[in-house]
Amino acid sequence: MKDVIHKSRIEPYVMAGLTLLFLLPVPAHAGWIKTYGNGEGWSVLQSADGGYIAVGERGAAFGNLWIIKTDPDGDTLWTRTYGDTTEMVGDEGRCIRRVGETGYIVLSNTATGFAEPGEQDGLWLYRLDDQGYIVWSRRYEGIGLGVAPTDDGGFIVTGDTRYPYLPEGLLVLRVDEYGNTLWRSIFGEGENLPRGFSVQQTFDGNFIVTGFVYRERRQWDIWLLKIDDEGDTLWTHSYGTLNSDDGMCVQQTTDGGFIVTGTMDLGWLGLLRTDENGDSLWLKKYRDEGAVLHDGYYVQQTTDGGYIAVGVAWMYPSPLTGQVFLVKTDSLGNEMWLKTYGGGGQDVGTCVQQTSDGGYIISTIYKLQDDHYDNFGLIKTNDKGDTVGIAEPRVSVTALDWEITPIGRDLVLRYRNRPNGFHAEIFDASGRKIDELRGPRDSGTIKWGETLEPGVYFIRALSEEGAAVRKFILIPR
């Protein structure tokens, strides 16, 4: 049926030194934009303590699964990295979901850089406790793009059946609370290159899945599937405009229907609203003035009955630059406001969640054009999409001519290529300036902090180009 709509390795880190700050900390719970180093942010949740937990990939093309836990102000409390540390093997964290009060489930994919997939390739589930440590982990064949908990304590996953090549069938995998496979269903196998991106258990105990399916002439349609608790089809719908469309995220709405976001009509961020049987009620498209293309990645129904969606708005001139694109609508999809963030590189918003204060938390990928690598980022806004506090500058880690040990009994700072010497200021956690550091030579090492109490400090290095700030922690001797 088609509705045509015309137009297990544990490497814990305390990443205090990787967050780059523009100024000293802003007041608690203000809006902010922060980056955490080279990587990609794919999914985020608010945690029970009011902070945030996010998942993505740490490093470049062959990085590791990366989990970052922050306080409400976005400052890092702890991080964990998992996956294969072998060269040319990459682990990408795609999705994190809360599991009751006892922790989280994380979906990741592992791929080698060789012509043939390795034994470790495939989708992985990591069951974590509330501190991010592994309770169990399991590997399964295929690629996973969405995961959700089920009411029996288990989990449901969607993706496709072939990794890392073209999809052969849309995959839905159900496992119990220990990761044991209960059933595995394939839809559209061998035809139309289908792929699933998002899955959720519905109010009636069944499941809803969205993704895309190939139509013709290199164009795709949104695919929405309702399946029962044994993995059998209840109904399917495809939805298309005159151009390509894909479904990236689906959520059940409070009235039992569904809301889908994705890229629609070849370049718009779209919202598709259906009833409980998948019959389309409306489709709305959104764009930012000056942007040429848009992608939608995630949607959530908000407490006022409307919707919040996030993605990217692509801008000219060449090379193409992107901005995180946030859209708020009412219950009928009418635009209430649009916001963009970033724009100095290729910035993508991958997930958005409404927070307990009525604002929003967004996971992002920041692509810094000059440095050719990504940054794992988070954006916190108020209920109008404003970042009330001070945004971080988009500073290249590799461009800094000084480095520190972020955690230790002393601060050890190494600098280079400073013809006029090195000058920095030290602040305590309250923002009070307590000392200055100076190095007379163009390169050198400075050791500091022997007489200081343990705690959190900030160092601001001064130069003709401006200032760069880093946080470090002194621990007891």
Residues 270 and 366 in one domain: yes
Domain containing residue 24: CATH number: 2.120.10.30
Asked if residue 316 is part of any domain, the answer here is yes
CA angle 133, 136, 140 (to 5 degrees): 125
Residues 353 and 424 in one domain: no
Residues 316 and 410 in one domain: no
- How far is Cα 139 from Cα 312, in angstroms, rounded to an integer? 31
**For residue 43, which of 32, 55, 35 has the smallest C-alpha distance?**
55
Asked if residue 187 is part of any domain, the answer here is yes
User: 50 with 394: CB under 8 angstroms?
Assistant: no
- How far is Cα 235 from Cα 5, in angstroms, rounded to an integer? 19
Residues 266 and 414 in one domain: no
Residues 374 and 441 in one domain: no
Residues 321 and 442 in one domain: no
Residues 306 and 409 in one domain: no
- How far is Cα 24 from Cα 459, in angstroms, rounded to an integer? 10
- pTM score, two decimals? 0.74
| Distances 58 to 146, 287, 365, 464 between C-alpha atoms, Å | 19, 31, 11, 32
> Could you report the per-residue pLDDT of 174-195, keeping only the tens digit for each?
999 999 999 999 998 766 678 8
**Which amino acid belongs to residue 7?**
K
Asked if residue 395 is part of any domain, the answer here is no
Residues 76 and 192 in one domain: yes
List phi, psi (to 5°) of 16: -60, -30
- For each of the chain's 477 residues, which pLDDT tens digit applies? 444 333 332 233 223 333 323 333 333 345 899 989 888 899 999 998 899 999 998 875 567 889 999 999 999 999 998 876 555 456 788 999 999 887 999 999 887 655 455 566 789 999 999 999 999 999 999 999 999 999 999 999 999 887 555 557 899 999 999 999 999 999 987 666 788 999 999 999 999 999 988 776 657 789 999 999 999 999 999 887 767 788 899 999 999 999 999 988 878 899 999 999 999 999 999 998 878 888 999 999 999 999 999 999 987 655 567 899 999 999 999 999 999 998 667 789 999 999 999 999 999 987 655 555 678 999 999 999 998 654 444 443 334 678 887 777 888 888 888 888 889 888 776 567 888 898 888 888 888 887 888 877 878 887 766 567 777 778 776
Q: Which domain holds residue 414?
A: 402-474
**For residue 277, which of 224, 240, 241 has the smallest C-alpha distance?**
224
Asked if residue 443 is part of any domain, the answer here is yes
Residues 335 and 196 in one domain: yes
Residues 413 and 371 in one domain: no
Q: Of 331, 352, 381, at which residue does a domain stop?
A: 381
User: 85 with 68: CB under 8 angstroms?
Assistant: no
Asked if residue 397 is part of any domain, the answer here is no
Residues 285 and 433 in one domain: no
pLDDT for position 13: 28
Residues 300 and 417 in one domain: no
- How far is Cα 200 from Cα 1, in angstroms, rounded to an integer? 22
Asked if residue 338 is part of any domain, the answer here is yes
- How far is Cα 311 from Cα 305, in angstroms, rounded to an integer? 20
Asked if residue 318 is part of any domain, the answer here is yes
What sign does the dihedral 371-79-110-84 (CA atoms) show?
Answer: positive
Asked if residue 413 is part of any domain, the answer here is yes
**For residue 363, which of 42, 56, 102, 37 has the smallest C-alpha distance?**
42
What's the structural domain count of the chain? 2
